[in-house]
Structure 1
């Protein structure tokens, strides 16, 4: 086998509109809307600088099936630059940008191979330096936005080929929660396929599910919301002469989404709370490593500040003040680099009254039984779902709310359950919702 190098990327989601963000300064909003294109540019530059023999792109190149002409032109420019350096690109389309999309069809340079949607297709990839064949690359695109068949079972390794085999698939392995069950398959399906490397897309969280063979989600290039926190990018894969692969993750995101918890146990006053928030925000700024930060704080734990935070007014006012300051920093100094910006996107309150919850849960009382039931539901998903959906059933008549409830995942149900427990503790404990030491 001949040694070679390739890049595995997925879920570019070009032209993501970021419509859910409100209150952003114009300069920051433009930067955010440009971030998916900037990440693509860095992907191309990485391929050139690292002398990659080829790239594989595992679906959802565009964010929407009716992608803008701007997005298509930017992608074509990226592929043209790779063509100038003789770097092939092997692409599949996913549920966001299926082959049936109505977008304008721009011609790609000859270095780009887009796999069809009827069955897996295969091409032979060569090493750029000498043209020696190094790998068989196979892939299948989504013909339509919804593919519920286990398309991984359609892949067939060539038993007579000594080359490294790479499969490109956009799908959900083992039914990962919170993601559409498109092209569903099991890890065992992939491990038994005979392929050496499964280049996966669809799940935006970077994951290595197996190393023998390699089954890898590279994650998306650029985080798009507070559900997609942490570094984002691609994998640079070096395959040695003995067929062993070495993976190196490379960051490509320009905007870094961050969730940070702030416990309130040791915060006795509103002033101490405000100072802690400001301190943590500056910590994130100092650790930004050249990325624009978008940050959300979650207040956790039990303490005397719980009634104040639960009220929400002070929380909202502090958030608006922090956003005003960040806006002023950018407007007062247009030359300030945006990677020095940290935008406070919101606060979440998951605090509780300053009570002995463990003691209450042992009491022979209505509240004690309620807390014990909540604790059981937290560890038993089916019970949790029954409780939440039963409590929300009166809202099912509202079409919008019905859609929201049907899309709730287990973590969101757990969050609702915990909030309900805290509210019940406040209302039913001796001191009531305004007290700090009810028992």
Structure 2
């Protein structure tokens, strides 16, 4: 066995359009649209500087099957640079860039291996001496929807003592938030005999197992508030004894994040604005020069609850913060674009300043409402206790199940989202019952 190193990456989603971002100026929008290319460029530079022996890419190079010419030109540029440095690339296609795509304009160079719609294998060598070090196997999506368990096609070559790497674009154990394409279980992967499963499709970085290694590197650039935190790739070192070490490298040029502020000490609208500005400046000092898109999550109870729940007032406050940040990045300003902290939206999870325990003791509709909400929020997920509370919640949602669009939304709600919606509904009901006028939710 010979030591070697490789990069595991996935879900590049080159040329993501970042549609739906409101209020941003053209300069920032161009920066967002360039971010996936910039992150990929840094990945190529990392491969060169760290002298990796090869790269594996586990699907979704493009953001759409009808990939733009710009995306394909930038990809060719990256392939050419890697080729100049003698770095091979092993690629599979996923649901966003299936083999059936009709807009592949360029032929892949010889140092880029693309696996087909059935499991194929290739032998990877160490660059400095050409010694074989690994068997790399992979399978691509023939179309955008693959519902069979393709992991069952992988079988380790019993005659080879080389390190075995499997490339698979799949949803392991039905993880929420992603389509259940190429569904499989962790048990399926463990039984295959492979040493390292290089996964793609799930954009959250996670190591599911270390014996064998089962790894999601996540995507290289966050694309929405659903993809918060550092994004990048894994540099993988394998020693002579097949002992494997992973190092995560951040590549994202735009980071999505959420920060929480309590309204407990916000005594006025002006105080609220000051605290928001202070928080944005704190994020700027911690950003390391990286552009940050932030959602501001208001929590707690206080006198500004009604103002924040008001769609008009909270929207005007958000627009004012965005106007101030726009001035920093306007043409002719001395600021650096990469230091921008963009307030994208507000999430309001606040409540009136009242004694909840006293209201819960009341023999009234409001008291019963609070007791029911408390029972649902505190029920055991594992034992599924308090079926009465759960039944009432499901009954309240029943009318939505007749609506095609809303039905899909309700069915996709996870337990966390259900609890958040219940809490918001409870606060709105309390406000209504004490003659307040809420219109809560998220402002963007």
Residue 39 of structure 1 aligns to a residue whose secondary structure is: helix
Counterpart mapping for 1:180-259 below 5 A: 180-259=179-258
Counterpart mapping for 1:39-438 below 5 A: 39-117=39-117, 119-334=118-333, 336-378=335-377, 379=379, 390-395=395-400, 398-428=403-433, 431-433=434-436
Instruction: Mark the CA change 1:34 to 1:153 in structure 2 (over 3 Å): closer, same or farther.
Output: same
Question: C-alpha separation between the residues in 2 aligned to 1:301 and 1:136?
Answer: 55
Question: C-alpha separation between the residues in 2 aligned to 1:130 and 1:368?
Answer: 76
Q: Is the 8 Å Cα contact of residues 352 and 422 (structure 1) preserved in structure 2?
A: yes
- Between 1:63-72 and 1:380-389, the stretch displaced more is 380-389
Question: C-alpha separation between the residues in 2 aligned to 1:287 and 1:112?
Answer: 38
- Between 1:35-44 and 1:406-415, the stretch displaced more is 406-415
Q: Is the 8 Å Cα contact of residues 8 and 55 (structure 2) preserved in structure 1?
A: yes
Question: C-alpha separation between the residues in 2 aligned to 1:385 and 1:72?
Answer: 50
Residue 100 of structure 1 aligns to a residue whose secondary structure is: coil
Question: C-alpha separation between the residues in 2 aligned to 1:233 and 1:312?
Answer: 36
Aligned residues: 432
Q: TM-score, normalised on structure 2?
A: 0.92
Q: Is the 8 Å Cα contact of residues 385 and 413 (structure 1) preserved in structure 2?
A: no
Q: TM-score, normalised on structure 1?
A: 0.93
Instruction: Mark the CA change 1:317 to 1:208 in structure 2 (over 3 Å): closer, same or farther.
Output: same
Residue 135 of structure 1 aligns to a residue whose secondary structure is: strand
- Deviation string 1:82-128 (CA, Å, 9 cap, x unpaired) is 011110101111111111122234101111011111x2111110000
Question: C-alpha separation between the residues in 1 aligned to 2:120 and 2:362?
Answer: 64
- Cα deviation, residue 301, structure 1: 1.2
CA RMSD, 1 decimal: 2.1
Question: C-alpha separation between the residues in 2 aligned to 1:90 and 1:387?
Answer: 52
Residue 323 of structure 1 aligns to a residue whose secondary structure is: helix
- Cα deviation, residue 209, structure 1: 1.0
Residue 98 of structure 2 aligns to a residue whose secondary structure is: coil
Instruction: Mark the CA change 1:376 to 1:191 in structure 2 (over 3 Å): closer, same or farther.
Output: farther
Residue 241 of structure 1 aligns to a residue whose secondary structure is: coil
- Deviation string 1:287-321 (CA, Å, 9 cap, x unpaired) is 11121111110101112221221123321111111
Question: C-alpha separation between the residues in 2 aligned to 1:163 and 1:343?
Answer: 48
- Cα deviation, residue 397, structure 1: 5.5
- Between 1:310-319 and 1:121-130, the stretch displaced more is 310-319
- Deviation string 1:320-339 (CA, Å, 9 cap, x unpaired) is 11111111111153553211
Structure 2 runs not aligned, ≥5 long: 439-444
Q: Is the 8 Å Cα contact of residues 388 and 413 (structure 1) preserved in structure 2?
A: no
Instruction: Mark the CA change 1:434 to 1:34 in structure 2 (over 3 Å): closer, same or farther.
Output: closer
Instruction: Mark the CA change 1:63 to 1:434 in structure 2 (over 3 Å): closer, same or farther.
Output: closer
Question: C-alpha separation between the residues in 2 aligned to 1:386 and 1:236?
Answer: 48
Residue 164 of structure 2 aligns to a residue whose secondary structure is: strand
Residue 108 of structure 1 aligns to a residue whose secondary structure is: coil
Question: C-alpha separation between the residues in 2 aligned to 1:129 and 1:388?
Answer: 63
Residue in structure 2 matched with residue 38 of structure 1 by the alignment: 38
Structure 1 runs not aligned, ≥5 long: none
Question: C-alpha separation between the residues in 1 aligned to 2:357 and 2:122?
Answer: 61
- Between 1:397-406 and 1:209-218, the stretch displaced more is 397-406
Question: C-alpha separation between the residues in 2 aligned to 1:190 and 1:360?
Answer: 53
Q: Is the 8 Å Cα contact of residues 327 and 333 (structure 2) preserved in structure 1?
A: no
Residue 329 of structure 2 aligns to a residue whose secondary structure is: helix
- Between 1:81-90 and 1:303-312, the stretch displaced more is 303-312
Q: Is the 8 Å Cα contact of residues 190 and 212 (structure 2) preserved in structure 1?
A: yes
Instruction: Mark the CA change 1:270 to 1:175 in structure 2 (over 3 Å): closer, same or farther.
Output: same
Question: C-alpha separation between the residues in 2 aligned to 1:84 and 1:159?
Answer: 35
Residue 331 of structure 1 aligns to a residue whose secondary structure is: coil
Question: C-alpha separation between the residues in 2 aligned to 1:18 and 1:82?
Answer: 28
Residue 259 of structure 1 aligns to a residue whose secondary structure is: strand
Residue 113 of structure 1 aligns to a residue whose secondary structure is: strand
- Cα deviation, residue 41, structure 1: 0.6
